[in-house]
Structure formats: structure tokens, C-alpha cells
Chains A and B, each alone.
Chain A
Amino acid sequence: MGESTSADLQAQKKAVLELAVRNHPGVMTHVCGLFARRAFNVEGILCMPVGDGGESRIWLLVHDDERLSQMTLQAEKLEDVLSVRRHGADHAVFERLEAFFQ
């Protein structure tokens, strides 16, 4: 991964993952650590509590390569991950944020 240029990264197909998780200190580390540990790049992360704060939603912008389904299965194994949904890269959540990163 370290070898890719930013142009390479731009060209790769992306996907957006939506994780419903139990909201407690440490759940972000569990999720981000899993992707880092398995050498799978995460391009963008968003996390906010939902409803009464018992749950959070984590949005991940990731590369859509042949390992993504394995990463999804690994994420589903985390005790505090309640569900994982996969969306296309055109999902609005990261597109609307672009204005903040100009």
C-alpha cells in the first residue's frame, strides 16, 4: 500500500461501508485497528452517536478491491459491531463533506 502514488489511489474503485456499533470508548479503536492491522487502507472515517447515544454509526471510505469482502467479514466478527452495510463510492455522505476539505 505504501508504494501507491496518490494518482494510483485516486484511480482505484472505492466503496462506502456503514457500520452500526455499540457506542463506548474503544469501539473506534477496534474498527480502525482492524483495518490497519490487516493492511487495508481507510481513506475516510466519520463517526457520530445516533438516537439516545447507545449506538454510533461509523462511515468508512475504503478501496473496493478483492479483499473488501474479507474485511467486511472480519468487521462483522467484532463484538461491538452490530451490522455492516456496503454502499457504492457515490454515496452522499462523503461527497457532501468535500466542501470542508477544499
Chain B
Amino acid sequence: MEMTGAQLLVRLLEAQGVDTIAGIPGGAALPLYDALASAGTIRHVLARHEQGAGFIAQGIARASGKAAVCMSSSGPGATNLVTAIADAKLDSIPLVCITGQVPLPMIGTDAFQEVDTYGLSIPVTKHNYLVRDAEALPQVIDDAFRIAQSGRPGPVWVDIPKDVQLQRIRVGALPAPSSLDTPPEVDGEALLRAAQMINSAERPILYLGGGVIASGASHLAVTLAEQAGLPTTMTLMALGAMPIDHPLSVGMLGMHGARYTNYVLQESDLLICVGARFDDRAIGKASEFCPDAKIIHIDIDASEIHKIRFAHVGIQGDVAAVLERLLPHVQVQLRKKWLSRVSGLRAAHPLQMPALDDPRSHYGLVSAVAACLDDDAIITTDVGQHQMWVAQAYPFRRPRQWLTSGGLGTMGFGLPAAIGAALAEPKRKVVCFSGDGSLQMNIQEMATAADEGVDVKIILMNNQSLGLVHQQQDMFYGKRIFAADYKRQTDFVRIAEGFGLAAVDLDRSAHPRALLAEAISSKGPTLIHCSIDVNQKVFPMVPPGAANIEMIGG
């Protein structure tokens, strides 16, 4: 049957099981939008800025584990998407990004809204395409979804010129989508050496990264920890892989990890790194991280093994498959001596959370919000002090409960990601912790939240400042606070109401805890505002470039 490239694209997206697309139309994408409208099969969520659309798609992908789609027009539409796509690349999130492009004969002429989308997208994607013929679309779209979700996931960008969208072609029956690439064979000999190292170690540590979440291997990682008696630390990306109140959890490591966590790591003689990549925020000065430890590194991406630290045993493979094969070779151990040393360090250097009982303090607010929710809720954050306070204080207990921008550290992530999560998981309560700096980077998506009526609660921790910049200037730049504090107070409650959200202000309430609980339990998008003292810090803190045991505060 005959159809246009745009109509074919919609058919291909349907076949991939896509039910929601976030995007913004524009000149070069109008045939795509017309095809979406005629088909009526895919829900389109109209964002207010393309970066918001990219992060809405990320929220869908992070909550569901499946590739999600964002769409925009050419030129500024494409450039506005770049940040959200780069964010997905650094956190290994599967996305398919589709943009319109000027017609093929106009490419290279500096046409209206022309930009080299293909060239721009190379460094921020896993792979990218410029589709020059509608006949290529079935293969390109099939490859795009396969590549985005196979191996180490990532974003794939498909740029489609307007004349290719309008090109009429004859299409037969569409083939079923390809299955994902088979993960590499696990090296059985390396597996046995790893098991032997775990069995003979005296002070081993399990170090979990985002790959454990991506691979759906959380339960296997917890089983390994329990079987071998392994104190377990998680990166920012892995929070939720092991319940934070599990007796073997030693919490998050790194720049804002608890003192005892970094001390425990310092004493370890074996580090079992699973789906993590020795990021500088997690390990501090690389040469001084776990100085006495041998390293086992399990990762789907061969280029991560030995990249930052030499691995005594490196195993390339899907984390779940490797752990499944490793478990039968790992002895049951109680490890009383090491675990009692870990308990001692924990008791001596616990995470300090001052004013935890005050729901209008930084840690207290995080704790009060957690008290209103169960483990089904999804928590997103923006980037900055509030993000670290939530990472430290929120009781994460399941994978995909926690969605945050880790690698790129993008302010503006939280609200659109929360909208995406709520679209993917409409039965779950979604709470976005944000700061006044971050929220203003994608505040326009409040309108999208109101349009869609999503059950998203924004907890705004407002210190009228770029808090983490303020903190670093205070601590490391001679207290010269510059370009960090905002001069004027912004009335966020009125702004939220203007966008059509419900809004409450804990500052003005005689019963903030009750008001918070009521606002969270209500349905629909809501802003919950609370002022936070600008002088509160995220502690402990490892100064940038220092070793993890050189912590300040906490």
C-alpha cells in the first residue's frame, strides 16, 4: 500500500509499542505531526520547550526501562533537545529522538531553521541517522530501537528531512521489530577467578552502579551480598538497588557519601564493582580510592573496564547474566569480623542529619515527605543541594524509585522527568524535589503538567540561591559569594497557580506537616513551597580533586 514517509514512521513507532511521544511541532516536522494526528494511535504530549520534551521522554524511559520517544522540528527545536539527549547519553538511558530537517535539496544552504543536526548529535548520542530516503525508514527505526536498548543503553537520534517525510512509497507488510542484540558470552574462567577472590577476601565491598538498575539485576545483587556477607555501597545512579535499610547497605559513596561509607571503602581488600564506572564524583581522587583493594569489574561495556582503574578481574557481560552465573560459585559467609568492623565505623561516623524533626528544614522536609509516601512512589530531583540531601536522606528501597540526572548533572531535569514518570506509571505518586535555581530552568513545563493533569508533586526547597555554587564559594573561594544569590524573591506559589497548578506554602502554615500530607495525598499537579536557609550545606563534602577520605563536615 502507498503512504508517505511520515505515515510509515508512525506505523513503525506503533509496531515498536510506542504509546506516548513528547515533543513540539514546527515547520520541518509538520508532515510527521499530520501523520500522528491522522493515525490517532499515539498520545502526543505537547511540551513548552524541546528540552522539556526530551526530559519527559527520559522520565518515561527511566520509570519503565523501555526506550521512549521525543520529537521536534529542525534548527532551534533540535538544538534545544541537545541537553536532554546528552543527559541520556551520560546516564545510559534508552531514547529515540526524532527531528524534522529542511528538505534534502536545501541542506547545506543555510536554509531557514537549518542546523547540522547530524553533526551536533554525534558526540551526545550512542548512534545517529540522517534519513535520505523514506525506503530506509523501516531499517533505521528498527535499528534505532535495537541500538538504544541493547547492551549499554543510550539515545539514538533520527533526523528526517521534510521531503523524505512527504515522499510517497509503496510499503508491504512491516516486519516485526528485531530482538535486542545478544549480550557477549561470559568468560567462565574469569568468573571462577572472581568467585575465588570473593571467597578468600577478608574485607570485600560490593559497589553497585546504574548498570544494576538498567539490567534489572537488583535482586541478584542483593542475593550476592547476602550470600557472601558483602557490605554494599551504591552510586547515585544505583540508589534503590538495595533497600537503604538493608543491614548490608552502607549507603551512597563519594563526594557526599556518609563518612563511614568512605572509611569502610578505604579499608577494603576487594572491591566488586558491578555496573558502575568509577566516576570522579563517586571515587574522588582515583589513585587513592580503595588503595588496598583488588578490583573485580563487571560491566556490559568493555571500554569501562580498566578505563579509570585497573581491574584484576574484568568480566564483560550483562550484569544480571554474570551475577546469575557467579552466585553458584560464591560461598556462604557470615564475615562476622569485617561486618562488625563496618558496624563500628558506622556507629562512630554516621551520616549527620541535623534538624531531622523540623519539616521546614532541609533534611526534615525530605524525611517528612518520605513519611507521606510508600515505596510505590517515584522520586525525581533536579540538580544541586536538594538533590544530594534527598540522595542522603530519602529511604530508597526499590529500583526505578529514584530518577535523577547523574552524569551530566542537568538542572531542569526534575519537573519534566516527573511528568514523564507519571505518564508511564499513572498509578504511582510522583514527587519532584527541586530547588529554586533548578526549577526555573524548565519551569514552563508546569503548563504541560497542568495540561496532562499528572499526579506530580513539586517540593520546592527555596533558598533564593544557586545553593551548591553558594556552598562552594563559601567553602573554597574565600566566602566570596558571587552570582549565586538571587536578588529578588520570586513568588513561586503565584507562578504555579498561574500555570494551573495547586500550590501550598509551608512557610505560612501553622501545621506544615499536616499541610504537606494533605497536599501530597491530593490528586493532580501541585507545588509545595518551603524556604530553606541558604547557609545550610551538603555535608560531608570531599573537596573536588581530593581523596574520598578527606571529607569536610558531617
Interface residues of A (CB under 8 A from B): 25-26, 29-30, 33, 37, 69-70, 73-74, 76-77, 79
Contacts and interface: CB of A to CB of B under 8 A. Distances in A.
B303 A29 contact: no
25 contacts: A25-B130, A26-B118, A26-B122, A26-B128, A26-B130, A29-B119, A29-B122, A30-B122, A33-B122, A33-B123, A37-B123, A69-B306, A70-B303, A70-B306, A70-B307, A73-B302, A73-B303, A74-B303, A76-B302, A76-B303, A77-B301, A77-B303, A79-B126, A79-B127, A79-B147
Contacts of B302: 73, 76
A73 B304 CA distance: 9
A29 B130 CA distance: 13
Contacts of B303: 70, 73-74, 76-77
Contacts of A33: 122-123
Contacts of B306: 69-70
A43 to B, nearest CB: 22
A37 B301 CA distance: 19
Interface of A is mostly: helix
A55 B263 CA distance: 53
Contacts of A76: 302-303
Contacts of B301: 77
Interface of B: 118-119, 122-123, 126-128, 130, 147, 301-303, 306-307
B144 to A, nearest CB: 10
Contacts of B127: 79
Given A37-B123, A77-B301, 4 more contacts: A26-B122, A30-B122, A70-B303, A76-B303
Contacts of B118: 26
Contacts of B147: 79
Nearest to A26: B118
A17 to B, nearest CB: 15
A70 B308 CA distance: 10
A76 to B, nearest CB: 8
Contacts of A73: 302-303
A82 to B, nearest CB: 14
Contacts of A79: 126-127, 147
A30 B129 CA distance: 12
A70 B307 CA distance: 7
Contacts of A30: 122
A88 to B, nearest CB: 22
